[in-house]
Amino acid sequence: MENQPKNHISRKGLTVWRLYGVIQTAVLTLLAAGGGTAVFFLDGPSWLYAVLAAVPLLYGFFAIYLFPKIRWERWRYEVREQEIELQHGLFIVKRTLVPMVRVQHVDTQQGPILRKYGLAAISISTAATVHTVPALVNGEADELRQRISVLARVAEDDV
Amino acid sequence: MSDTRYRLHPISALLNFLKGLKELVLPFLILFGANLLQGEGLPGRDLESLITYGAGAAVLLFLLAAGIIKWRRFVYWFEEGELRIEYGLFVKKKRYIPFERIQSLDYTEGIFHRPLGLVRVKVETAGGQGEGAEAELTAVPRADAARIEEVIEHAKNRVLGNGVSKETAGETAVAEENRREAAREIYRISSKELLILAATSGGIGVVLSGLAVFLTQFSEVIPYEMIYSEVMVFLRFGALIVALTVFISLLIIWLVSLALTIFSNYRFTILANDENIIITRGLLEKKRITLPFKRIQAIRVTENPLRELFGYAAVTVESAGGSAAEMGGEKIRLLPLVKRRDMLPVLERLFPETDWSPEFFKAPPRSVRFYYRVDFLWILPGAAALSYFFFPYGLLAFLAVPLSVALGIWQHRTAGWSAGRRQLTLRTRAISKQTMYVMRKRIQSAEVRQSWFQSRKKVATIQVTVKSGILGAAVRVEHLEKQDTERIMQWFRPQPDKEQEESPIQK
């Protein structure tokens, strides 16, 4: 795509997504282990073991390695004077344009995991939509929030 | 006048009661119905049925008392430029609404209101919490409603033109009167349109599904075994009678929905002045809603295939804020059904800034496959499964393939866009053809979406979101030329000196 938005989200965001992937995979592995035990005691067919082993492995590959990598590579944002442009999406690449005049308010949020990595998510709300940039370094997020709210106040309505 | 406290008309106690009753009707029916069906005929004089009756009576009494108390406690008055309301059954609530925040007053006259010359007034503000109107006066005399409107208009003017002496106040009132008089009639539904609307409306589906819901609600109560044996007897009369019964009941359902549509859209009239569109409609229950122009976000023209064939269309508007949700979604019907060529003059008069017949750019020929290819994902396995389990008739399921291809081609042909100086027009089809006209300043955000498959063929999907009610409504045109979606984005992009740059995209 020509002239993509230029800023990546924080590299640590990738780590956080991988961590989410690890957690999900761990839960899935536990379930699979439970299933394996059941197969053992109920004398199920042996190919079920193969399936039960393959599912967490595949899931792990996608959720820990591939998907976070693609998502992170894809995630771009840029805040210009009159507009905010975002690009994201795993299977479908979405490029969103939000004019500064439409911005109503900006929030930052931080869950426990994000906080541990010193990250914050920033949500930009218009009257009808909410757009979230998922992982920015704390200071950067605050600075961006400030900047957007100043720019949004300055921007004039092009009625 | 500032300190007079007004009460609603006593009939509102009855209306409260009926409203409470309506909410209880289903549980009630189940309670009594179950009793009726389990026992032999009507409940006897045993203790159990007495308790049921007693409980029923207690609930009725409670509802009646609640209705009366609600009416007694509801007062409204005007003070310090605010409409103030105090109400509440157990918890006393006060609500103060500044006049200048009031966007419009909507009137409804139900069958109980009309003989007494009353109206129900809904006060709409821009905020709108989504859960009904900001304030609702269940029943006030029409004269009082007019007075409320006057007070509010008055106050608004005072805010605009500050410092008012007696005379100027009188003058503004007169000017006000003139302006309200100036609301011109723009459109009135003709009886032919009304009939066609009723005959082709989706109301049939609503009634049918309502019936289905009703039946499922009762499935536990209905003694199926009894019915079943009767049905067996019935079946001996032959399939013809069964078919006839089905047909007749469908016909009755259709007639009911026809009547309902006619009642609710009877004398559908649009009036307009400089600020507002005023829509009045209804036979038994008269409604009057006021729709400020500045709240209108986008206009949609919908043509379902049947109506499209005969050149008819329906027009809805997306309106911001307010509790329009009660009017059947945040979409407000502006023209329930109108011949296309009659529609244009009406819309042109209401929205002179909008270009109603722009030239559309189409989706490129190569994108047509995207419109039906995804459907194969579920049609093919589904049809295969049906053929396997219900051989040979299941094979008929493969007919869905050419049908979905045909629909896809049709959707592809309909899809189009146009970007004028200030206006974006998007046309899509699911089954009905929809054209949305929206001004650039009303678009909240725009998005280009592209999947990997789309990027190989250099096509992309455009989606814009406008405010509708308290949420957003997104419109998508799929599988357009990638270059075109970029152009739309460029068109939407704010530019430092827009006035010079502002230019339509032309062929």
ipTM: 0.86
Clarify whether residues B135 and B246 are in a common domain. no
Which candidate from A2, A81, A97 shows the least CB-CB separation from B446?
A: A97
Q: Which of B181, B207, B224 is the last residue of a domain?
A: B181
The pLDDT value recorded for residue B326 is 45
The mean pLDDT of B149-173, rounded to a whole number, is 59
Q: Which of B131, B158, B181 is the last residue of a domain?
A: B181
B449–A89 C-beta distance less than 8 A: yes
Count of domains observed in chain B: 4
Q: Which of B216, B248, B265 is the last residue of a domain?
A: B265
Clarify whether residues B10 and B148 are in a common domain. yes
pLDDT, tens only, B233-271: 656 666 667 677 777 877 787 788 888 888 888 889 999
Report chain A residues touching chain B, CB-CB < 8 A. Answer: 2, 81-83, 89, 91-102, 126-129, 131, 155, 157-159
- Is B434 contained in some domain? yes
Q: Spell out which residues of chain B touch residue A96, defining contact as CB-CB under 8 Å.
A: 445-447
B495–A82 C-beta distance less than 8 A: yes
Which candidate from B450, B472, B493 shows the least CB-CB separation from A129?
A: B472
Q: Which residue of A has its CA nearest to B469?
A: A128
The pLDDT value recorded for residue B480 is 94
Per-range mean pLDDT, top range of A51-55, B329-333, B491-495: A51-55
- Is B397 contained in some domain? yes
- The dihedral region occupied by B329, where left means phi > 0, alpha psi between -120 and 50, and beta the remainder, is left
Mutate to test the interface with A, among B422, B441, B445 (most CBs of A within 10 A): B445
Tokens 């419009």 identify what position? B104
The pLDDT value recorded for residue B500 is 45
Q: Does B258 touch chain A (CB under 8 A)?
A: no
Task: For residue B494, report the phi and psi dihedrals to the nearest 5 degrees.
Answer: -70, 140
Among A131-135, B64-68, B80-84, the range scoring the smallest mean pLDDT is B80-84
How far separated are the first and last CA of chain B, in Å rounded?
Answer: 63
> What residue spans define the domains of chain A?
8-73, 76-154
Is residue B118 classed as helix, strand or coil in its secondary structure? strand
pLDDT, tens only, A72-81: 999 999 998 8
A101–B498 C-beta distance less than 8 A: no
Clarify whether residues B70 and B19 are in a common domain. yes
Indicate whether A89 pLDDT > 70.
yes
Clarify whether residues B23 and B110 are in a common domain. yes
Clarify whether residues B172 and B239 are in a common domain. no
- Is B383 contained in some domain? yes
Q: Mean pLDDT across chain B, nearest whole number?
A: 80
Clarify whether residues B12 and B97 are in a common domain. yes
Token pair belonging to B11: 């009939």
Q: Does B448 touch chain A (CB under 8 A)?
A: yes
Q: Which amino acid is at B389?
A: F
The mean pLDDT of B319-325, rounded to a whole number, is 60
The boundaries of the domain holding residue B315 are: 269-363+415-501
The mean pLDDT of A121-126, rounded to a whole number, is 91
Closest to B132 in 3D by CA, of B245, B7, B19, B275:
B19
Clarify whether residues B256 and B128 are in a common domain. no
The pLDDT value recorded for residue A56 is 92
- Is B292 contained in some domain? yes
Q: Which residue of B has its CA nearest to A91?
A: B451
Q: Spell out which residues of chain A touch residue B421, defining contact as CB-CB under 8 Å.
A: none
Q: Between B497 and B309, name the one with better pLDDT.
A: B309
Instruction: Name beta bridge partners: A133.
Output: A122
Give the predicted TM-score (pTM) of the model: 0.78
The C-alpha atoms of residue A36 and residue B30 are separated, in whole angstroms, by 48
pLDDT, tens only, B174-233: 555 555 556 788 888 888 888 888 877 755 555 565 566 555 555 555 555 666 666 666
CATH fold of A76-154, please? PH-domain like (2.30.29)
Q: Which amino acid is at B410?
A: W
Q: Which amino acid is at B353?
A: E
Clarify whether residues B420 and B476 are in a common domain. yes
Residues whose CB falls within 8 Å of the CB of residue B54, separated by 6 or more in sequence, listed in order: none
Among B77-86, B256-265, B493-502, the range scoring the smallest mean pLDDT is B493-502
pLDDT, tens only, B438-472: 999 899 999 999 999 999 999 999 999 998 877 78
Alpha helices in B166-223 (DSSP H): 166-181, 191-200, 203-218
Q: Spell out which residues of chain B touch residue A95, defining contact as CB-CB under 8 Å.
A: 447-449, 489
The C-alpha atoms of residue B468 and residue A128 are separated, in whole angstroms, by 7
The mean pLDDT of B391-400, rounded to a whole number, is 81
Clarify whether residues B463 and B344 are in a common domain. yes
The mean pLDDT of A119-136, rounded to a whole number, is 90
- Is B506 contained in some domain? no
